[in-house]
Amino acid sequence: MKIAVYPGSFDPCTNGHLDVITRCAKVFDQVIVAVLCNSNKSPTFSVEERMSLLKSATRDIPNVKIDCFSGLLTHYMAQKKSNIIIKGLRAVSDFEYEFQMALTNSKLNPDVETFFITTSAQNLYLSSSIVKEVARLGGSISDMVPACIEQEINDKLK
Ligand code: PNS
């Protein structure tokens, strides 16, 4: 069974994240979306809120599981018996940091492989920060986040 872990802050989940999850769920037997809960960044949404938004957004994809983790990703992956990390790449600017993380994770556990998937063209500009800024300033985020969680995100940010 090929279990892949898609780690991130997901603060909040966007259409870009959902696109990566949906496409990877067709490739791997199980995709665990792992929300980081001890980040240095102070998240806008609590870990419970971020997990709840992800659960709503992925409720129709049976082989997706939403979880959270703290500490090293490689330690979490060993617990989950997974050696596949999924990362979405939007632009060349994402690459340097992601490349550094992939090499670090591989150093920490040489059995772990990072699989990069390119974001779909319509989501190239998207990020959680952009979604939060637009929502806070009263703009429409309807093309940016899954429809079923749009209201919840707006309620938190407006
Ligand atoms: O969505 P983000 O904020 O870019 O996700 C970053 C994340 C969660 C993938 C990264 O910070 C992470 O893996 N943190 C866990 C700590 C860790 O394992 N660090 C060593 C690898 S760089």
Residue 91 has a pLDDT of 82
- What distance lies between CA 39 and its chain's CA centroid? 14
pLDDT digits (tens, 9 = 90+) for 98-108: 999 999 999 99
Q: Please compute the mean of the pLDDT values over residues 53-74 and round it to a whole number.
A: 98
* pLDDT level of residue 158 (50, 70, 90 thresholds): confident
Ligand 1 pocket at CB < 6 A: 7-9, 36, 72-73, 101, 104-105
Residue 58 has pLDDT above 90, yes or no: yes
Domain that holds residue 84: 3-157
- Neighbour order of strands in the sheet with 113-118: 64-69, 30-36, 3-8, 84-89, 113-118
Instruction: Find the CATH number of the domain harbouring 122.
Output: 3.40.50.620
Residue 94 has pLDDT above 90, yes or no: no
Given a contact cutoff of 8 angstroms between Cβ atoms, the answer to whether 10 and 17 are in contact is: yes
Say which residue the tokens 């998207």 belong to: 126
**0.95 surpassed by pTM:** yes
Ligand 1 centroid to 7 CA: how many Å? 7
Q: Between 116 and 94, where is the model more confident?
A: 116
Number of domains in the chain: 1
Residue 93 has a pLDDT of 80
CA angle 145, 48, 99 (to 5 degrees): 65
3-class DSSP state of 34: strand
Q: Between 20 and 92, where is the model more confident?
A: 20
Given a contact cutoff of 8 angstroms between Cβ atoms, the answer to whether 2 and 29 are in contact is: yes
**Closest Cα to atom 19, ligand 1: which residue?**
72
3-class DSSP state of 43: coil
